[in-house]
Structure 1
Amino acid sequence: MAIKFGITDKGFISPTYEEWLDSIKDDLKSRFGDDIALSSNSNFGIIAEMFAWRLTEIAQQLELVYYSGFFSTASDTALDRLGANIGVARKIATKSHVQIVIQTDGEYLIQAGEEFETDDGIIFELTDDVITSKDKDGNWVGTGNLESEETGKMNNVLANTVTIVSNPDDTILDVTNPEPATDGEDDETDEDYRKRLVMENAAKEGPTRNGIRSALLNLPGVRDADAVDNDQDKVDEYGNPPYTVHVYVLGGNDHDIAHSLNDHVAAGTTLTGSKAINISDESGVVKTIKFDSATEKPIFVQVKVKTNISWNSDDNVADIKADIAEKINSLEMGQTVYLTKLYSNVYDKSGVEEATIQIGIAKDGLGNSDINTKRFEVPVCDADHVEVVVDG
């Protein structure tokens, strides 16, 4: 019988192994007679199965090639090549940066390259020399910039956690980071990269709202961006002056963001925000670009599960933590964390009979209500902030 295969008016058709085998057996019968032996241990049967298997493999590979030509279905290097066609590269993993305050016993030089770390072993390196001097309280204090040894989000440590001198020095009395570390990013996933490519295809970088968002999201380290437009002749609910645009950006370098806004915001637009970055345009004119950093809203989760004999104690707890954190982190700026939507990430694990989930913005403040975020807030969840309590 004739078998449909390849590109058709309904898309790409890839026959199954059984369909190939039936088609080959029919061909053999038409050429050698209906009474030939086609069992698995006959010569004709072995040949038919061998060809059917090879044709199945070839068809599957051709199907992958076909779907690698579309943003919605391409993956890995195929998606990278599609992105290169429109000039949008995948974001690579970056190191984290943070400022550190060092207190010493008298005036002291701490040389670039000195290493500091957190209690759990995340190492940072001093990027420039620091010389301590007396502050108003009479302490010898200096401030320096650190860069993480490794790349990835895990290096975006909380404030006051970089407190250890890797090579102990009696002259250094105390070190800490008053602010959280930022800029650390993992390699962009296919899913996140695909979203950017789709957005870029729908809204090119430019002066429109989506065009500005596309431009900002293409910057290294930027994870989300949005803007609040106040087109009224009075101050809006967020405190923005009349006829202004307030841009909020999560992550990224302030000067890169300022240059991007200068390049893409329409002429005559008045930007507002607490950050005011001075940049020089192509003609050398210094301009002040205003915007704000979006804020992360940490989400804490507790999952209580009643399990049966099918429960996998080695993997299921870690999988629940990772899946819930991933679902929350996939939300965009201003989106609500719906409690009920987290249950699917628990009940899809084998061995779960009953489950209850509580969420909150503090570990000691969990409840059964959804968590709303403001337009310039982004819900974030670390897998360590997901507690799984098992009742076996």
Structure 2
Amino acid sequence: MSDFGITSDGFAIKPLQEIINDKAALAREIFGDDIDLRSTSAFRQIMNIVAASDLELWKLGESSYYSCFPSTATGDALDLLGDDLGIPRRALKSHGTVVLTLEGGKNGRSYSIPAGAVVETLSTATDPAVRFRTLQRASLTNQAPTVSVEVEALARGPAGNVAKNAIKQLNPDFARAKLSFDPALVTATNANATMGGENFESDEGYRLAILGRPRTLWTLEAVRSAVIALDGVRDCRLFDPLGGVDVSQSKFSFFSFGRGRFGKQRRVGTPFYFDILVAVAPGFFWESTTGKADGVQDLVNLAVDEVRPISVFPNLRLANDVQIGLRAIIMIQPGHDADAIIGSIKDRLERRVNSLGLGNSVLYSQVIYDCKDVTGLIDIQQLHLRRNPPLMGSIAFGRSPRFNSAVIEFPIGENINLQPDEIAVFHVDSQLIDIQVSNT
């Protein structure tokens, strides 16, 4: 095997000096050993030019070779490999800044708007509203009635590039579900046009999508890959009834096992259902609200249709959001701002908890680590984790969680273990958070 070109270790370019040596040997073979190959000869100059051209051909050969593999291809070559797998390069989301303004609020009240709040342009008979979600939380009062927040479009592509002052309001559907005040009190506007939707994802991100795509058409991995890649899906889990007995079915409790067969093989052509549990990211809607398939539920159905066989249908289920909080007493170093330290604790816990997947437990040790890593904090004592909504169908032995009206408070040192259909959510302005400062 040659030391250059396609080798067992990849493609090796022949160095320029090797190309010149080969051409010099060929010249001596054709014209004789007495040919003038000194650097000052005309023949040597011509040979050097041809050798440099050959080197460019070797470079093109290397580029052509590595363009055949997703791990090394770039640009248009990577696009072609993605097209073969049915994975086009995705457009980016438009970004911008929106100013939220409170008008007519009550004195002494703070109007909290969480990260993921949906703002939008006004819809017309021909153009539907363009929606954006906020990337930062905001708090408005009569004393501080305006705040600027970063936003990104819910949909990818240039449709998210809107002109300045095009964004007007909070989305009414989001406000009814997530806010405790009239959305008409808050107006939204963008002083500058939103930009970025005309661009496409980088080679690095596109390459990861191609390499992570399962090469089998109908497996749980293939379906999960199609679902988790959708915008608005925080996490998902798949449950295949053929993988075991589903004791949650109502017939399980009333079936007479001694008198008949509990199950039988499915006949070809009869419908078969499997479950997909989906957790929705903040700012995205589960059901479509604009008359077109823009809700996460419809998008998942469309994505699964591409990888499911005939007569096999998904049964979509929305995951249960479990709000997480804590009660604790902290001791801070003299000279440090207590509110700033509490804010840092909340920010760290928000990043930690909201990165957990479906069924992942909130670990007491990780919460302690995040809290003690805050500058200016001396100690944290009597830390109790909290959750909401209440637990259902659980049996406790020994110490039990303490129930308040809408809070479950766990003993010191106890983790919050979630069910497979639950996902942890942390809001910095949640009523589940009770952090007190001790001066002793």
Please report the TM-score for the alignment, with normalisation by the length of structure 1. 0.45
Q: Give the TM-score normalised by structure 2.
A: 0.41
Between 1 and 2, higher relative CO (CA 8 Å, sep ≥ 6) is seen in 2
Q: Considering only CA atoms, is the larger Rg found in Structure 1 or Structure 2?
A: 2
